[in-house]
Amino acid sequence: MKFIQLIWGIAFIFSFPTLAQTKATVSIQNNSDLDRKEAVVSVKWDAVLSHFPQIDTTNFVVINLATKKQVSYQLEHLGNTSIQNLLVQVDVKAKSTLLLSIQKGKAAAIITKTYARYVPERKDDFAWENDKIAFRTYGKALEKQVGDAYGFDVWVKRTDRMILNERYKLADYHVDHGDGLDYYHVGFSLGAGNMAPYINDTIRYSGNYHHWKVLDNGPLRSTFQLMYDTWNAGGIQVKATKTISIDAGSQLNRIENQFTFDGNKPMPVVVGIIKRPEAGNILLNEQLGIVGYWEPTFEKDGTTGVGAILTTPVINMLVNKQQLLAKTTVKNNESIVYYAGAAWNKAGKITNSKKWFDYLNDFNQSIKNPLIVTVK
């Protein structure tokens, strides 16, 4: 009799892990005074597996425990075959905690909110977008040709749909057909927040990117790499890889650059924003590392706000006839991360310089006060 009781006791004890394997709970804590809206939050996949090892990646849902509604998600691979992170898009009020449940179930269709691709039909462009804004940069096929540009280009939009393929197919993207257009001028500048070596007080532009690789492509985050051939940067041989991520709901890209160059000394670099001849509104905050520019209105096409946020110490900021520049340094073969992007007044959300500069300041606060994620 005691033997049978022992067997039942062992079975009872070991039934708990089986129950624990049916779900995991994610806690997202916001300790800041800032509401986090449409935030794409990363949850380590290993942490999910440790609490829900039997999860079926083709048959699970993420539930907001307060509203009981499904939350949009993405399995992020970062170029690997295995899953690295679970991405969720949520709103988290200031000084509050949001609880999510990961459990078995059929997920509702998730709307694509980010997209990136190589565009061979348009001379090696690489273009990317989210539900707020779009960008492109130029490849080797356009280098030293008419229309070449060194920096990042902005494609403004006033729709949450993905529009890149439509615009390239239409081949008339300098005209607003109801969802936005390309009226941003880059030329021989860093455009909307590109970075380049700054040797002897001179910007040392690279050639256009040569190779590319998409690491993830939506629906909530698209990440890709652009590789640049070695160039002579004022007597220093430099090679660069730029890893760019765009999240749903964000006006800014996360840009992680890795420069390889000769020598052990840090190399000066600048993040730049092209300046227009007409008057615009400028924000330069060296202490916080924020550069903001609300361009002059361009006739019927509206007004673009452009900005960048550096996460490394800023040596100084300056404005010349052509660009707004923020100077910092990088170490050989070490990553440097910053954020850059744009907004358009005709999208109806950020309609003046104050709103744009407030957005940049709030974004900076969100970087400095990241959401705290735990899984149990």
* Residues sharing a CB contact under 8 Å with residue 96, sequence separation 6 or more, in sequence order: 29, 30
* Burial of 277 (C-beta count, 10 Å sphere; 0-12/13-18/19+): exposed
Question: DSSP 3-state assignment of 166?
Answer: helix
In the beta sheet, which residues pair with residue 57? none
One-letter identity of residue 280:
G
> Are 38 and 249 spatial neighbours (Cβ–Cβ below 8 Å)?
yes
Question: pLDDT by residue for the chain (376 residues), tens digit each?
Answer: 444 444 444 444 444 444 447 899 999 999 999 999 999 999 999 999 999 999 999 999 999 999 999 999 999 999 999 999 999 999 999 999 999 999 999 999 999 999 999 999 999 999 999 999 999 999 999 988 888 889 999 999 999 999 999 999 999 999 999 999 999 999 999 999 999 999 999 999 999 999 999 999 999 999 999 999 999 999 999 999 999 999 999 999 999 999 999 988 999 999 999 999 999 999 999 999 999 999 999 989 999 999 999 999 999 999 999 999 999 999 999 999 999 999 999 999 999 999 999 999 999 999 999 999 999 9
According to the model, what pLDDT value does residue 10 have?
Answer: 44
- Report DSSP state, residue 322: S
> Are 328 and 336 spatial neighbours (Cβ–Cβ below 8 Å)?
yes
According to the model, what pLDDT value does residue 146 have?
Answer: 86
According to the model, what pLDDT value does residue 8 have?
Answer: 45
Length of the chain (residues): 376
Rounded Cα gap, residues 171 and 186, in angstroms = 19
Rounded Cα gap, residues 48 and 282, in angstroms = 44
| Residue range 114-368, CATH number | 2.70.98
Rounded Cα gap, residues 55 and 53, in angstroms = 6
Angle (CA) 372 306 178, round 5°: 105
> Are 39 and 89 spatial neighbours (Cβ–Cβ below 8 Å)?
yes
According to the model, what pLDDT value does residue 147 have?
Answer: 85
Q: Phi/psi at 366 (nearest 5 deg)?
A: -70, -30
> Are 284 and 210 spatial neighbours (Cβ–Cβ below 8 Å)?
no
Q: Does domain 22-108 correspond to CATH entry 3.40.50.300?
A: no
Token digits for 138?
Answer: 């130029």
What DSSP element (H or E) covers 167? helix 164-170
Question: DSSP 3-state assignment of 120?
Answer: helix
Q: What are the extents of the domains in the chain?
A: 22-108, 114-368
